[in-house]
Amino acid sequence: MADRVVLAYSGGLDTSVAISWIGKETGAEVVAVAIDLGQGGEDMNDIRQRALDCGAVESVVVDARNEFADEYCLPTIQTNALYMDRYPLVSAISRPLIVKHLVEQARSHGGTIVAHGCTGKGNDQVRFEVGFNTLAPDLEVLAPVRDYAWTREKAIAFAGENAIPITVSKKSPFSVDQNVWGRAVETGFLEDLWNAPTKDVYSYTEDPTVNWQAPDELIISFDKGRPVAIDGRPVSVLEAIEELNRRAGAQGVGRLDVVEDRLVGIKSREIYEAPGAMVLICAHQELEHVTLERELGRYKRQMEQRWSELVYDGLWFSPLKEALDVFVAKTQERVSGEIRLVLHGGGISVNGRRSAESLYDFNLATYDEGDTFDQSSAKGFVQLHGLSSMISGKRDRGL
């Protein structure tokens, strides 16, 4: 019986070519597995059929939209995760879910090899393979694009020579990865850092000036760090992301032009669109400012950067990341309430906050009549707070 390769299949150039190439070069049967993460675009049944047309012996589509929202996007919201303080981990959080399902499909279809279409320059090769090695170290890993130095030109030529149905041509050089959490675009003229993105780069967002005369004000409700309603209407996490993708996208919110530090040591230029993600993270951060005690909030903000780096670096299943998840879950116990914000001209402006768990005390904060803060106690506090610095300063000045 021939070996079976279970391939992470996107329906795009590299993985479509990989089906035919694997069969020709190794003699193995290919089982294509496409994961529906709410990426939209093509019908998933069309993608399934394309895999069969490309030579897969079986083609599987997994609807993981709610799983992705609840188990991958939600932790990203609750951690306020932004790699390099900018990128909401659009691709990074999808890879461990794909790994999980590929391992499951390998078990159910008798696969001994798992394969991906990543290059040797990117982060995804690490995310996939570290995930495979953690969850199923007995499976071999095949990476034809990386290990056989395919270029886009070679892949397009191979597709033409072997009648492989693809939608990419040399005139459309962008590489796009998208899911409900956002969209990533790279390559082509974007590789010149001086070139501004053109309007054809974008799909999830409108030009920020299109709806300039119609700003959108809305209220997002959270329960223990989980978005549960928009404008008072109950929503699942997936529904919250989808609605905010539409509403924030219409206002041009969530466009990111980033030069980021890849794990392999090079810098790359990426264009991201993540309207729903950026709104939810912004609103969640603001609610934490209201409900988290100062020292807890300070420490969590330090931890958020480390969590983001671990996920970006493909260590979703690592002991440290799992331990940090427990910490984050504890911090969310009081993160309940509502945030009102305005989406306009590509920006997000918070203009209202309310929570039964609020640590904001009006009578302590006010400078008007009714102030209950004892200002006479501040003098001694200030002196003691700066005492060590004062002593050090005297020494350094020889006093």
Report in angstroms the alpha-carbon separations of 340 from 160, 229, 232, 247, 372.
Answer: 53, 12, 11, 14, 28
d(CA 220, CA 232): 8
> In which element (H, E) is residue 389 found?
helix 387-396
- Percentages of the chain per state (helix, strand, coil), in multiples of 5: 45, 20, 35
Q: Which residues pair with 295 in a beta bridge?
A: none
Report in angstroms the alpha-carbon separations of 236 from 78, 148, 169, 335.
Answer: 15, 43, 38, 17
Catalytic residue positions, numbered: 14, 95, 124, 175
* Residue closest to 292 by CA, chosen among 82, 84, 87, 79: 79
Q: What is the DSSP string of 171-192?
A: T---EEEEETTEEEEESGGGGS
Q: What is the DSSP string of 272-331?
A: EE-HHHHHHHHHHHHHHHHHS-HHHHHHHHHHHHHHHHHHHTT-TTSHHHHHHHHHHHHH
Crossing angle for the helix pair 152-161 and 13-26, to the nearest 10 degrees: 60
Report in angstroms the alpha-carbon separations of 235 from 69, 85, 248, 267.
Answer: 12, 28, 16, 38
d(CA 116, CA 10): 10
d(CA 363, CA 289): 18
d(CA 355, CA 219): 13
Burial class (CB in 10 A: 0-12, 13-18, 19+), 188: middle
Residue 111 contacts residue 31 (beta carbons within 8 Å): yes
d(CA 140, CA 295): 46
